[in-house]
Amino acid sequence: MEAALLIAEPEAETRGFLERHLADDGFQVVGSEAPEPPELEPDLVLLGEATPVADVRTWSREVPVIVLGRTGSDSIDRVRAFERGCDDYVPEPFHYEELLARIRAVLRRSAAAREHVEVAGLSIDRGTRRVAVGGRPVALAAKEYELLVKLASEPARVFTKEELLRDVWNFRSKGRTRTLDSHACRLRRKLADAGGGEFVVNQWGVCYRLVEEPQLGG
């Protein structure tokens, strides 16, 4: 399956060059506008400058970001880009072949990081969709599993109801629904029945987090 790239490059000539050659190399270019929340989250974002990294991080903490530093950028620009949350930094003028190699390397690292998760005795194998608590398998329905994977992406972070409904159920409206709460309740019960601790913590006034104090495992 081809990786989807969002290109936010203000210079039209560079943007056109990247769109054309990345498409030729098998990538799906899903957009080239300002990095606002897209309908579907891309696999990687290319930014023409470091400042919008913070904007990307408002709608995704997971999607990898590569910044194309402007000509004349220095080590301070590079450090600030990483501090804002980018995954790699390629200063201009860049060689396309090097950029392509870096894109593929970042995608490989991102895929590997997401493949297997362990937190507080809970393990998730995304390749096989298997979930276990202390080695004991837990059978989950499709949306229960997707909700768990989303919460496990940042175990101690409190996700809002709007985020979870958007990312797990693809809801765009803010109408009232008990879908999230009912799935969270069933997920919490199944994990507890398998011998797990307190998972799927309800943070009143915000929404849910996976655990209070995560203990990450290898």
- Domain finish residue from 113, 129, 161: 113
Give Cα separations from 161 to 12, 79, 147, 204 (angstroms).
Answer: 38, 34, 11, 11
> What does the pLDDT average to over 16-40?
78
> ∠ CA(173), CA(174), CA(178), 5° rounding?
105
Q: Is residue 168 part of a domain?
A: yes
Does 76 share its domain with 140?
no
Q: Is residue 9 part of a domain?
A: yes
**Mean of all residue pLDDT scores within the chain:** 82
Q: Is the pTM of this model over 0.75?
A: no
DSSP state of 120: T
pLDDT 10s digits, 157-201? 888 888 888 888 877 655 567 889 999 999 999 999 988 778 998
Which is nearest to 111 in space by CA: 54, 154, 62, 152?
62
pLDDT 10s digits, 95-127? 999 999 999 998 888 776 666 778 888 888 877
Does 11 share its domain with 106?
yes
Render 50-96 in DSSP notation, one character per residue. Answer: STTHHHHHHH-SSS-EEEEEPTT--HHHHHHHHHHT-SEEEESS--H
Higher pLDDT, 41 or 24: 24
Range of the domain at 171: 120-209
